[in-house]
Copies of this chain bind each other. A is one copy, B any other.
């Protein structure tokens, strides 16, 4: 029930599904309870009520902790149930969890999500999914109900969707660094960087991503964060871990990681990651 989980859960409820919710901090379930969702006090009790479970948490460790142990999904979901995992995690973790679910005769689908909270509320999310075919077939309409304007099927390989999600977050971070450096060069050269970005947003970089983030960066509106530097750093570390696994050099990803690390080291872990280029 974080910034993305809440609007996604609301979308599911408003699509007519019976919805059970759980959050470690129970107070965060209040908006859902107000909409008629049934609040569970443990993962185990939720797992016993549901045949499809969606999870969205901040990292690999948190996701594993939901799955494992006496109170976890693996021990408490019925055979044949489906775990739709929306978190941004290492592809390898997706593979491990899929294998564990399979050993319990359950299904695991990797279905990470692109979109900020306002996109979730507007049902303009994009999901990328991979995993076994029956799971993909079952999840496709549910992901649309969850707010997916696009649900992109990347086939059987359980690691594909999370690899693509990492590529996407790397691409966004690269755009943020580029916007920031360009705006700084313009400003220091006596050029109106807002006027410049108004032009780029109409021409070469005419997308909501560049439009929104150039506004945030030019106005230095880094709080409240929609996606924090801490989470951005986590993701760039995952990108570089995956790059190491794949034996691929990514000098730009390394630069982005170093800048985000610098922000975090300077105590700015809770500002928006679009401050990446201002780290030094």
Contact = CB atoms under 8 A, between A and B. Distances in A.
B171 A174 contact: no
A219 interface: no
Interface stretch (A14-22, A28-36, A77-85, A185-193): A185-193
Given A178-B174, A252-B178, A253-B181, A186 B167 contact: yes
Given A150-B202, A203-B150, A280-B249, A181 B170 contact: yes
Given A203-B126, A251-B255, A255-B251, A163 B181 contact: no
Given A181-B253, A185-B239, A204 B203 contact: no
Main secondary structure of the interface of A (DSSP, over half): helix
A172 B245 CA distance: 29
Interface stretch (A39-47, A64-72, A96-104, A151-159): A151-159
A242 B185 contact: yes
B204 A206 contact: no
A247 interface: yes
A168 interface: yes
A93 interface: no
A200 B171 contact: yes
A62 interface: no
Interface string A189-211: 11110011001101111110100
A177 interface: yes
A195 B157 CA distance: 14
A186 B163 contact: yes
Interface in A124-183: 126, 128, 150, 152, 154, 157, 159-160, 163-164, 166-168, 170-172, 174-175, 177-179, 181-182
Given A126-B203, A154-B195, A255-B252, A242 B189 contact: yes
A128 B157 CA distance: 47
Interface of A: 91, 114, 126, 128, 150, 152, 154, 157, 159-160, 163-164, 166-168, 170-172, 174-175, 177-179, 181-182, 184-186, 188-192, 195-196, 199-200, 202-207, 209, 239, 242-243, 245-253, 255, 259, 277, 280
22 contacts: A91-B189, A126-B203, A150-B203, A157-B190, A157-B191, A160-B191, A163-B185, A164-B186, A164-B191, A167-B185, A167-B186, A171-B179, A174-B181, A175-B175, A177-B252, A181-B252, A185-B243, A185-B250, A205-B209, A251-B259, A252-B252, A252-B277
6 A-B pairs with least C-beta separation:
A188-B246, A174-B178, A167-B182, A188-B248, A163-B189, A181-B250
